[in-house]
């Protein structure tokens, strides 16, 4: 508190010019340092995205997207990996969206603040923090071995669904809580039951926020590799899955395989695969951002 003492010592006198000069100079220096540190954080992000697109786009053609890999993945396209990731994302959504929204409705609309609700919140925080590879182990132990689902789309989707659950629950709960209470009061006073109020009033109002959360959760699921390593991912499977009990290739795992496990892999195919995965993820990210800002603009409350 040295400055504070100096300052009070000067009270009553004319504020020393050099002192205030020094403080201004200090602030300018500090803000410059903060700006530089922030640039050091942000510029690499842009560089990564530009690097991948500039190196990868030349390798992406229509054939690359719709053909099967040939010649030990060193030629041809990546269709099975793209379809696999689509299936897995869809499968994850089927399980995690209803469950996550249900849990958020419970926390926001039904639960009272007691010990059990606190336990649920702590469990959600913990689910969000469990390492992705531990989800992979859990999926292997429960779905693949114990429930005998084998390495299959359904086992992978269930594993990814549990992993995305905390993201969907917390964003949905936030969206539900943002709906003003007066909306609920009006609905109840008109004779609506609790569920009718939620279904007809609260959910429609919170829908954009919920969608944002769902897309962000699925974005994470689509890009994850560790949880699918032992539950669904196939190293090389040049055909499309025919049922949910089939194993499948997936984009993130495919990128891992061709960048570390296959010698003599053409760099063009590696970057091409990276571009497709990045586009997939960025599209979801942009979708979420657009939904959010669109909803903010047209919100009536």
Asked whether the CA dihedral 150, 154, 160, 164 is positive or negative, the reply is: negative
Any contact of residue 99 with another protein (CB under 8 A)? Answer: yes
Q: Between 1 and 300, whose beta carbon lies closer to another protein?
A: 1
Using rule CB under 8 A, residue 147 touches another protein: no
Q: Which of 73, 230, 232, 291 binds another protein (CB under 8 A)?
A: 230
Interface of this chain with another protein, residues 159 to 198, rule: CB under 8 A: 162, 165-166, 169, 193-195
Distance CA 249, CA 181 (A): 47
Binding to another protein, residues 250-289 (CB under 8 A): 252-253, 255-256, 259-260, 267, 270, 274, 277-278, 281-282, 284-285, 289
Q: Name which position in 76, 223, 238, 266 contacts another protein (CB under 8 A).
A: 223
* Tokens (6 digits) for 65: 């997207």
Rg (CA), the chain: 26
* Six token digits for residue 169: 């629950």
Cα–Cα distance list, 260 to 4, 31, 174, 192, 223 (Å): 58, 42, 40, 59, 17
Instruction: Check binding of 121 to another protein (CB under 8 A).
Output: yes
- What minimum distance in Å lies between the beta carbon of 82 and another protein? 14
Binding-site member from 58, 98, 180, 204 for another protein (CB under 8 A): 98
Q: What angle do CA 151, 223, 279 make, to 5 degrees?
A: 130
Residue tagged 């063009």 (tokens): 268
Residue with tokens 């500090």: 30
Nearer to another protein, 242 or 260 (CB): 260
The rounded distance, in Å, linking the Cα atoms of 10 and 22 is 15
Residue with tokens 């992993």: 163
Decide: is 58 part of the binding site for another protein (CB under 8 A): no
Q: Which is nearer to another protein, 102 or 204 (CB)?
A: 102
Question: Does 72 interact with another protein (rule: CB under 8 A)?
Answer: no
């Amino acid at each position: 508190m040295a400055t504070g003492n100096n300052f009070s010592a000067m009270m009553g006198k004319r504020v020393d010019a050099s002192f205030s000069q020094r403080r201004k100079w200090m602030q300018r220096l500090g803000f410059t340092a903060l700006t530089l540190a922030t640039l050091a954080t942000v510029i690499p992000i842009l560089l990564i995205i530009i690097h991948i697109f500039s190196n990868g786009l030349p390798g992406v053609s229509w054939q690359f997207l719709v053909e099967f890999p040939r010649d030990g993945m060193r030629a041809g396209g990546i269709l099975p990996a793209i379809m696999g990731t689509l299936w897995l994302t869809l499968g994850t959504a089927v399980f995690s969206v209803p469950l996550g929204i249900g849990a958020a409705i419970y926390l926001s609309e039904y639960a009272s603040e007691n010990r059990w609700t606190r336990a649920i919140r702590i469990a959600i925080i913990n689910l969000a923090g469990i390492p992705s590879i531990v989800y992979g182990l859990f999926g292997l132990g429960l779905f693949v071995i114990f429930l005998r689902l084998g390495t299959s789309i359904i086992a992978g989707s269930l594993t990814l669904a549990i992993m995305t659950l905390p993201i969907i629950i917390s964003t949905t709960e936030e969206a539900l809580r943002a709906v003003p209470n007066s909306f609920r009061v009006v609905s109840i006073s008109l004779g609506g039951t609790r569920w009718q109020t939620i279904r007809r009033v609260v959910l429609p109002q919170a829908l954009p926020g919920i969608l944002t959360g769902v897309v962000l959760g699925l974005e994470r699921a689509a890009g994850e590799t560790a949880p699918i390593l032992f539950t669904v991912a196939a190293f090389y499977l040049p055909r499309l899955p025919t049922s949910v009990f089939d194993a499948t290739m997936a984009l993130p795992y495919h990128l891992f395989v061709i960048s570390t496990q296959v010698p003599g892999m053409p760099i063009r195919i590696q970057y091409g695969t990276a571009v497709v995965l990045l586009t997939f993820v960025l599209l979801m990210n942009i979708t979420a951002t657009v939904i959010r800002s669109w909803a903010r603009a047209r919100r009536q409350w």
